[in-house]
Amino acid sequence: MADIRDVAKRAGVAPITVSRCINNSGYCSPETRARVEAAISELGFVPNRMASGLRSKRSNTLALVLTDITNPFFTTIARGVEDTASEAGYTVIFCNTDESVIKEQMYLHMLVEKRVDGILLVPAQSGLDSVAFIKQQNTPLVILDRRVADLNTDVVRCDSFGGAYELTRLLLSLGHRDIAVLNGPDGVSTSIDRLLGYRKALAEAGIPANSKWEYFGEFNQKSGYEMAHKIMAEAPLPTALFATNNFIAFGALKALREIGLRVPEDVAVVGFDDLPPALVTFPFLTVADQPAYEMGRRAIEILLNKLSGEISDQYQDVVLPAEIVIRQSSGQAR
Amino acid sequence: MADIRDVAKRAGVAPITVSRCINNSGYCSPETRARVEAAISELGFVPNRMASGLRSKRSNTLALVLTDITNPFFTTIARGVEDTASEAGYTVIFCNTDESVIKEQMYLHMLVEKRVDGILLVPAQSGLDSVAFIKQQNTPLVILDRRVADLNTDVVRCDSFGGAYELTRLLLSLGHRDIAVLNGPDGVSTSIDRLLGYRKALAEAGIPANSKWEYFGEFNQKSGYEMAHKIMAEAPLPTALFATNNFIAFGALKALREIGLRVPEDVAVVGFDDLPPALVTFPFLTVADQPAYEMGRRAIEILLNKLSGEISDQYQDVVLPAEIVIRQSSGQAR
DNA sequence: CTGTTAGCGCGTTCAT
DNA sequence: ATGAACGCGCTAACAG
């Protein structure tokens, strides 16, 4: 495989001139450029970015570490990230942690080894050690989707508290008093914030919080399925379920169908996260929809700003609103 | 940031010994290893893989170039790829081409610049130039999901022909004679194979192919929506629709609902690609389900074999079967 | 089991 | 507007 010196020889210039042409750095006359480009295509030369990265200390690679690319919410974020990053000349490495702190740490180490220029992280659990590790390596970092304890960090997330508050208010306005929450892990900020939003709405309505109806589980279908079965196994039964993510909602719906309960006639259901229209045959679920693509785009923009040397001691906590989309699953007033 | 020589100095050994410890290459005594590891953690040393890659000519990075990570079919493939690759110590770069040959070529060039160790490609269109380019660079390549003209290439795909044939046979067995195909782009092998499978089933049933009912479009919801509207705008109307991917099927269902046609009572619908259970509230669509995760896993396995030096002049064309899943949308015999 | 030498392919730095 | 010298951080090749 031809290298930059072969090209230089063939074009009758010095290697550094070829380098300048490739990277549009420094001047070079049109004639020189033409000769260099001819040599490049004759030799089929493709610059080696490992070598240039070693020298320039930039890899032109970013990383997105998330819990599960299989979740359309994260898929959409990933699309927003990749579109924006590739426009700016970066490639993106994806990593799935499956909410495992171990996997997360392994991936982050790998990414620092590769000297990625920046990292977007959806932290598994609190993310404390991970954030500390990345900062210690001076790798630019933006946290996505979830809050972390370390306030000296940029964060882009959605208003989980507000979305949960509004969803619960909707259920209350429809006459529900007995509302159960099917939640994710209790170490994750989105779980916590959604629970707090729910509680606030109840409190405002003068309804005491009932820990019997506050379930923690995982952000997946199986967990939603199991929590719904458990809740519906013993009296008193809630008249409405609030699932704190899309997978939990689908699991719950499956369980309710098995039990023979109709939605929304017997039990109302609301969820967090909408599905992309391309994935839905019959829109049915009332949800708090997060602007996932926009979240990805905003996060990568902040990261790109940092990379282009915008030195700022200001850390941003960007909180985008969730949009309540009312469909059939929440039912009519009762 | 500490480098390998700082570690060596601190541990009282030569740099190459540190290298051997890090990479488990060559021997080193337990005592030496302990001293080296102590030095590593004291200095917070993280090896620079751009430097080691430059020297060893391996980047430990693979790439998956596909049309759209937003499609659950490809998301699932991506998960199969990433799980298997990361177990083997590789990271994976993802690229979305949106079926654009231009984007595809741009990404492939970028990937060769990065000296990725191997590429998995879902070719936009025929993929002819792209395959030639990658082969010329001697980058190991496995084609995913689609056939290419160049037979000297490894391919992992699903039996589009067989799946389409079986779906059409199902519709025929239910009494349908007037079946329209809502297809993807006519330059893509999966479109072509699914059309041919459909035609074969018709031919066997003694039904002449009717080009009026063979529509080509795009593999997205909008296209499915438009094709369904067009077909249903003028007599004679088909009694069944065969959508050649999931997005087209959902677009068609939306159009039918707008028109006021019931599925399956007025029009039966079958599709290609199932959705993961976690994304479905009420399973409804009769489909040919592709083993997406397995496709990703098989493709990356072949790539990893090539990378570990299994020199083989044999190119594989792995064709996995599609599974027909019968649900309500195909209806009862009429 | 460990060390020495050399160089991977570029871009920084300084020079003209 | 272009070039020379050097070294980024690591490991292949060879030596012992």
- Look at residue A280 in the predicted model and tell me its pLDDT: 85
The answer to whether B255 and B229 are in contact (CB under 8 A) is yes
Contact B70 A76 (CB under 8 A): yes
- Look at residue B333 in the predicted model and tell me its pLDDT: 86
Virtual CA dihedral for A116, A121, A127, A131, nearest 10 degrees?
A: 40
Inter-chain Cβ pairs, chain A and chain B, closer than 8 A: 155
Q: Is the pLDDT of residue A312 over 90?
A: no
Q: Is the pLDDT of residue A209 over 70?
A: yes
Name the average pLDDT for chain B. 94
- pLDDT tens digits along B97-116: 999 999 999 999 999 999 99
Q: How far is B75 from chain A (nearest CA, A)?
A: 6
CA B75 to CA A71: how far, in whole Å?
Answer: 9
The answer to whether A264 and A253 are in contact (CB under 8 A) is no
- Look at residue B311 in the predicted model and tell me its pLDDT: 65
- Angle of CA points B116, B121, B127, to nearest 5°: 120
Q: Is the pLDDT of residue A334 over 80?
A: no
CA A145 to CA B175: how far, in whole Å?
Answer: 51
CA A1 to CA A10: how far, in whole Å?
Answer: 15
CA B143, C1' C3: Å apart? 45
Q: Is the pLDDT of residue A151 over 90?
A: no
- pLDDT tens digits along A245-270: 999 999 999 999 999 999 999 999 99
Beta pairing class for B286-289 and B323-325: antiparallel
Tens of pLDDT, residue by residue, chain B (334 residues): 899 999 999 999 999 999 999 998 878 888 899 999 999 999 999 999 999 999 999 999 999 999 999 999 999 999 999 999 999 999 999 999 999 999 999 999 999 999 999 999 999 988 889 999 999 999 999 999 999 988 899 999 999 999 999 999 999 999 999 999 999 999 999 999 999 999 999 999 999 988 899 999 999 999 999 999 999 998 889 999 999 999 999 999 999 999 999 999 999 999 999 999 888 888 899 999 999 999 999 999 999 999 987 666 789 999 999 999 999 999 998 7
Is the CB atom of residue A15 positioned under 7 angstroms from any atom of strand C?
A: yes
CA torsion sign for B189, B194, B199, B204 is positive
CA B226 to CA B239: how far, in whole Å?
Answer: 18
- pLDDT tens digits along A47-88: 999 999 999 999 999 999 999 999 999 999 999 999 999 999
List CB contacts (< 8 A) between B114 and chain A: 49-50, 61, 91
- pLDDT tens digits along A9-36: 999 998 999 999 988 887 888 888 999 9
- pLDDT tens digits along B230-286: 999 988 899 999 999 999 999 999 999 999 999 999 999 999 999 998 888 888 999
Identify whether B236 is preceded by a cis peptide bond (ω within 30 of 0).
yes
Interface mutation target, options A19, A41, A50, chain B, most CBs of B under 10 Å: A50
Q: How far is B169 from chain A (nearest CA, A)?
A: 24
- Look at residue B254 in the predicted model and tell me its pLDDT: 95
The conformation of residue B278, written as its DSSP 8-state character, comes to G
CA B40, C1' D16: Å apart? 27
- Angle of CA points B317, B315, A46, to nearest 5°: 110
Pick A79's closest partner by Cβ from B69, B276, B281: B69
- Look at residue A147 in the predicted model and tell me its pLDDT: 94
Nucleotide with C1' nearest the A52 CA: C10
Say whether pTM exceeds 0.85.
yes
Q: Distances in Å between the alpha carbon of A278 and those of A140, B253, B283, B303? A: 34, 11, 16, 32
